[in-house]
Amino acid sequence: MNVNAFENLELIPVLIEQNEILLDRLNKLVPPINTKKEVAKFLNKSQSTINRYIQLGYLIEGVHFYRKNGKILVFIEDAITEFRKELNKGLAYEKVTV
């Protein structure tokens, strides 16, 4: 067994710390996208368009958002980010209409 392989183990805590610093910086740069207003801004759409996307089934409850206390919409950031990618490719509309 190569003893030199264990020399790199001491780098793991340093890498973890650097990763945490980068995540903190990223979180400061990326605004939250949990409310309808934030989602509308993120998608460069109006809030009424977001309502229409929900009514048409483009944004799906349990996938893109959930209801807090049965009424308040809370959007799921990862799903909204993925939706934007699909929207930019035109795929979001195709999934619902097919």
Structural domain includes residue 16: no
**Does residue 21 form part of some domain?**
no
Please state the domain count of the chain. Answer: 1
Q: Specify if 8 maps to a domain.
A: no
Distance CA(93)–CA(11), nearest Å, equals 47
8 A C-beta contact, residue 96 and residue 56: yes
Residue 19 lies in a domain: no
pLDDT-derived band at 2, boundaries 50, 70, 90? low
* Greatest C-alpha distance within the chain: 64
The per-residue pLDDT for range 37-53, each reduced to its tens digit, is 999 999 999 999 999 99
12 has pLDDT over 50: yes
Identify whether 40 is part of a domain.
yes
Does some domain include residue 47?
yes
Query: Residue 92's domain spans which residues?
Result: 36-97
Q: Tell me if 66 sits within 8 A of 80, measured CB to CB.
A: no
Summarize pLDDT for 68-94 with one digit per residue, the tens.
998 899 999 999 999 999 988 876 665
Asked whether residue 90 is assigned to any structural domain, the reply reads yes
Sole residue written with tokens 């799906």: 60
On whether residue 23 sits in a domain, the answer given is no
